[in-house]
Structure 1
Amino acid sequence: MSVLKGCRVLDLGIITAGAATSAILADLGAEVIKIESPTYRDPFRLWPSGESKADDMPPLFRATNRNKLAISIDLKQPAGREVMLRLVASSDVVVENFRRGVLPKLGLSFEALRAANDRIILASVSSQGETGPDASHVSYGSTLEAVAGFAWGTGYQDDAPVISGRDVNYPDQVAAIFATSMITTALRSVQKGGPAVHLDLSQRDLTSFLIGETFVAASMGKEIRRGGNAQEPFLLQDCFKAADGIWVAASVRETDLQALSTLLGRNIEQDDAALRDALAAHIAAQESEPAARTLQQIGLAAAPVQDGAGILKLEDESWSHAIQCFDGKRVKGFPFQIDEQPLSIERPAPGIGADTATILSEIAGYSDDEIASLAKAGVIELGSA
């Protein structure tokens, strides 16, 4: 994939929000250099994955760091800061999602980066944004969904709010896609002669924006209550278990009542309290696929609720690029595809500092002796491929 060919990205991102942003840029053809420290790794290297073998390449790390090179620099040392700035001088983008204040403490504020490269783009993906009373707070997906109002809108009526959890991590996932769009837009501006850009992407603001209509309704006096799977204007919307143990999602509109009455063999009124029981019994008497099919045939929106195994069986039938096979393993794929220049995974996630020597020599212009000296002083780490 070559849409971003020639673009160099310095990736200080960790876990999902930052690292996944630069992963999409890498998928689009950018040269992405993942930067870790001899004293601090991307936590995803050690994230519990359920796999029996303990290594630094669990599935979550592989997914968010494929197609990248890797260097290890101790940015807390003045010499490490100098190495970083020499890389900045010949790069286009720096991506980071550290806690606010970390970069300035390292001497790597936007002003410092801009002094090294007056066309640099700094993409700061943070939980609460660059400013405001909560900017320095530690946040995870759970707390972000709470403060952004997302958890307030999920769950069942009169029950506790529900967070999406690590396996969904909604604020981080959507932030990566939006941040990528912002970066590519900024690249266009800089390439046309514009100045350096500092992009401030608050996951809290973004999450609130995506459900903003709900807050607007609440501000106008409308009571907003969690409804679980129920949703206006559907008369009934929920999931029902079929005979094979698989759930089927179904949505019933007022205009579906006549056809549904015929299918179920009973007259159903709009306010029929037994509608749920009748539909549940109909689905429970069949396996999920035929149950969903009979409802689809009369015009209802209905579908089996797929688990991981079910999704994989639908490859090349219902989806083609969401999941990929690389190096003999299933890995997370792409959120979109470009037919003329398809995205692809060209290289696996790198080991710690796997490309340190090559990057310092070919990009930053250090000699072999200088590289050896930096390694001896603990400023850099020379890993193995």
Structure 2
Amino acid sequence: MTPAPLQGCRVLDLGIITAGAATSALLADMGAEVIKVESPHYRDPFRLWAAGDPAAGSGGLPPFFRATNRNKLGISLDLKHESGRAAFLRLVANSDIVVENFRRGVLGRLGLDYEALRSANPAIILASVSSQGETGPDAGYVSYGSTLEAVAGLAWLTGYPDGPPTISGRDVNYPDQIVAIFAAGIIATAWRVRRNGGGGTHLDLSQRELTSFLCGEAFLAAGRDAAPARAGNAQAPHRVQDCFRDQDGKWVAVTVDAADIDRLRTVPGMGTPRSDADLDTALRAWIASRPGAEAVASLEAAGIAAAPVLDGHSLLSLQHQLWDNALSRTDGGDLVKGFPFQLSEAPLRITRDAPGIGSHSAEILTRVAGYSPAQVAALARAGVIELEPG
């Protein structure tokens, strides 16, 4: 069997919420041994999000937490305590990568900045996923997805002509979701380079920079012309691009180009609209007079791009028709978030549910850091670590 791409790689995951934790979840999916490090005094906030959600499954863990922490081991370790910091550095000495997305300066105040990590392991890779990057006047500011989309330019582009800028919201949180995919890629690359003798490094991964890059084409002309205007669903040069309600109140998305006008005239009952405004009105009335599935079938038969706007229930029912890997199931049968890509030779899969608090503290400290069982027990009595209950 082909080994996973990151087999043999060990990651210490200080990440929380999405940006950091989802980055290291992808590393775990690709075969790395990822150790999630939480504090007895500060948990990953995702442990408390939607805790009563029925989708939490048998483990009682919220879906957000399960999605960003599957395939990981877990240790509860107080990094503010001298003994906890010493234990973490012993883990660093036997690891390859540290991932973090704290506010800038937090690692330094803990005595765990890049220089401290490199003293413990000269070949360590530190991946810092942050809102505004390591340097610059805004580096220390607290941010959320909303403010990142604002300063990156994405919110300005999103919305309707007469409406305000629009943010994606916490359930999408575009800057966090997208940085995790890019960050996992560059971290995996850095690890491969290190294996080939390139040494360790400190990776500075800015969510704001990445978000601006991904919508940069829209702003390239801003120095010469007015900033791009919000257009809602419409987008030149398409003659019409919008969503329309069918007779049952469901939505259908349609895009019509200039080359499609003659094809549109072949659609039964459509007529021959003369202007774009007439075309929009005709489509709206035509779709409103029939079931969405019938409208989509007729438009597709004429070569017009059309599709139903699916809700969650509809999407789930179409596995292996519209998607294969976006969602997955744990060994217990619970449906969880899947993978943004798949590998044919070493398929990504979920082999372990997200860890409970301190689930693997004793194992990790003995196997990786070299502590004796008596030393682990002493750390637990001192409150430096938490052990799994029972």
Aligned ranges for residues 178-257 of structure 1 at < 5 Å?
178-257=182-261
Identical columns (%): 61
Asked if 1:4 is matched to 2:10, the reply is no
Decide whether aligned partners of structure 1 residues 265 and 196 sit closer, same or farther in structure 2, where only a CA change above 3 A counts: closer
Q: 1:354 aligns with which of 352, 359, 370?
A: 359
Decide whether aligned partners of structure 1 residues 4 and 223 sit closer, same or farther in structure 2, where only a CA change above 3 A counts: closer
TM-score (norm 2): 0.96
Is the CA contact (8 Å cut-off) linking 1:235 and 1:252 kept in structure 2? yes
CA distance in structure 2 between the aligned counterparts of 1:340 and 1:244, rounded to whole angstroms = 45
Decide whether aligned partners of structure 1 residues 272 and 72 sit closer, same or farther in structure 2, where only a CA change above 3 A counts: closer
Structure 1 unmatched runs, 5+: none
CA distance in structure 2 between the aligned counterparts of 1:50 and 1:215, rounded to whole angstroms = 43
CA distance in structure 2 between the aligned counterparts of 1:93 and 1:272, rounded to whole angstroms = 55
The Cα offsets for residues 224-264 of structure 1, whole Å up to 9 and x where unpaired, read as 11000000100110000112322110011111111212324
Q: Which amino acid aligns with 1:296?
A: E
Q: Which amino acid aligns with 1:47?
A: W
Aligned ranges for residues 259-338 of structure 1 at < 5 Å?
259-263=263-267, 264-269=269-274, 271-326=275-330, 327-338=332-343
Give the aligned partner of residue 106 of structure 1: 110
SS class of match (1:217): coil
CA distance in structure 1 between the aligned counterparts of 2:233 and 2:85, rounded to whole angstroms = 51
Deviation at 1:289, TM superposition (A): 1.6
TM-score (norm 1): 0.97
Give the aligned partner of residue 21 of structure 2: 19
CA distance in structure 2 between the aligned counterparts of 1:53 and 1:314, rounded to whole angstroms = 19
SS class of match (1:123): strand
SS class of match (2:198): coil
CA distance in structure 1 between the aligned counterparts of 2:107 and 2:243, rounded to whole angstroms = 47
Q: 2:132 aligns with which of 112, 122, 128?
A: 128
Give the aligned partner of residue 122 of structure 2: 118
Q: Which amino acid aligns with 1:11?
A: D
CA distance in structure 2 between the aligned counterparts of 1:289 and 1:273, rounded to whole angstroms = 24
Paired residues, number: 384
SS class of match (2:65): helix
Is the CA contact (8 Å cut-off) linking 1:123 and 1:198 kept in structure 2? yes
Asked if 1:156 is matched to 2:167, the reply is no
SS class of match (2:222): helix
Give the aligned partner of residue 349 of structure 2: 344
Bigger mean CA offset, 134-143 vs 47-56: 47-56
Is the CA contact (8 Å cut-off) linking 1:20 and 1:65 kept in structure 2? yes
Aligned ranges for residues 87-98 of structure 1 at < 5 Å?
87-98=91-102
SS class of match (2:184): helix
Q: Which amino acid aligns with 1:258?
A: D
Decide whether aligned partners of structure 1 residues 290 and 129 sit closer, same or farther in structure 2, where only a CA change above 3 A counts: same
Give the aligned partner of residue 170 of structure 1: 174
Is the CA contact (8 Å cut-off) linking 1:68 and 1:349 kept in structure 2? yes
Q: Which amino acid aligns with 1:322?
A: A
SS class of match (2:199): coil
Is the CA contact (8 Å cut-off) linking 1:36 and 1:72 kept in structure 2? yes
Give the aligned partner of residue 84 of structure 1: 88
Deviation at 1:50, TM superposition (A): 5.7
Q: Which amino acid aligns with 2:284?
A: A
Q: RMSD of the TM alignment (CA)? A: 1.5
CA distance in structure 2 between the aligned counterparts of 1:240 and 1:282, rounded to whole angstroms = 10
Asked if 1:371 is matched to 2:373, the reply is no
CA distance in structure 2 between the aligned counterparts of 1:84 and 1:225, rounded to whole angstroms = 50
